[in-house]
Amino acid sequence: MCAESVASENFAAALIPPIEATASDDVRDVIPLPGYRLAVRFHDGTAGTVDMAAMITAPTAGVFARLRDPNEFARVHVLYGVVTWPGEIDLAPDAMHDALAATGEWVLAA
């Protein structure tokens, strides 16, 4: 019989809080919107809309074609300050920040 408690195996994971990105060009919040769009807000307050419709629906969408499924698109979240989806799909936060700071919108083309 093992003398070590099974419950102690995950003890450290329960004590260590998740890493939260806080640099000004790190994404703070993302909300999926209809039409393959995202509402995004950065830690410095920069905010706007990312329009991914042309890129996702293009024949050359590549890995982004998986996001055509509205349920998959809705799985968007922020991980370490980056807009991301399961399966290692993400968007460049620096380019997004620059576009949103300039015009409030980032339109991703095919």
Q: What is the mean pLDDT of residues 63-80?
A: 97
5 pLDDT higher than 80:
no
25 pLDDT higher than 80:
no
For residue 82, the surrounding DSSP H or E stretch is strand 82-85
Q: How confident is the model at residue 31 (pLDDT cuts 50, 70, 90)?
A: very high
5 versus 81: the higher-pLDDT residue is: 81
Other beta carbons within 10 Å of 40: 24
- Kindly give the pairing relationship between strand 82-85 and strand 27-33: unpaired
pLDDT at 35: 98
CB within 8 Å of 75: residues ≥ 6 apart = 85, 86
Give the global pTM: 0.79
Rounded Cα–Cα distance for residues 81 and 67 (Å): 20
Q: DSSP 3-state helix, strand, coil percentages of the chain (rounded to 5)?
A: 35, 25, 40
DSSP conformation class of 75: T
Q: What is the mean pLDDT of residues 58-87?
A: 97
Give the CA distances from residue 70 to residues 52, 66, 75, 79, in Å, rounded to whole numbers and listed in that order: 12, 9, 9, 20
100 pLDDT higher than 90:
yes
* Chain mean pLDDT for the chain: 88
Asked whether the beta carbons of 36 and 67 are under 8 A apart, the reply is yes
pLDDT at 89: 97
Q: What would be the CATH architecture of the domain defined by 19-107?
A: 2-Layer Sandwich (3.30)
